[in-house]
Amino acid sequence: MPKSEEAVQMGLLIDYEFCTNCHTCEVACKKELGLKPGEYGIKVLEDGPRRNPDGKWEWNYVPVPTSLCDLCEKRVAEGRKPTCVHHCQSGIMYYGPVEELAKKMTGKPNMVLYSK
């Protein structure tokens, strides 16, 4: 990586409005990092289901990268996307410089940005 880019902080942006809890990111990450059962580089957490006062259902899944996440250093060096981003079944994970990702979330509700 050229020197000027070294300072750029990278991260993961997740549009959790459409996270279905499909477990793809969890398993893809396990395979990439060589993790055993019980170990996670990213873990999907659940909120709900529960009824809101208007009668609508609230049911959210939010994947949380753990301290084991290295933003797929090896893959990224090869020119690939992080494996969770590549394989996410809803296509709602994005990798990039956090500043750019922050711009991407502007105007779109239910997104979370993870910095590394």
User: Judged by CB under 8 A, does residue 97 bind other proteins?
Assistant: no
DSSP 8-state class, residue 27:
H
Q: List the single partner that 65 binds among other proteins, ligand SF4, none, CB under 5 to 8 Å by kind.
A: ligand SF4
Q: Is the bond leading into 49 cis (omega within 30 degrees of zero)?
A: yes
89 binding ligand SF4? (CB under 6 A):
yes
Residue 69 binds ligand SF4, judged by CB under 6 A: yes
**Type of residue numbered 70:** D
Give least dist CB 77 to other proteins, A.
12
| 70 strand-pairing partners | none
10-15 β-sheet, strand order: 93-97, 10-15, 111-115
Identify residues 11-30 at the interface with ligand SF4 (CB under 6 A). Answer: 14, 19-25, 28-29
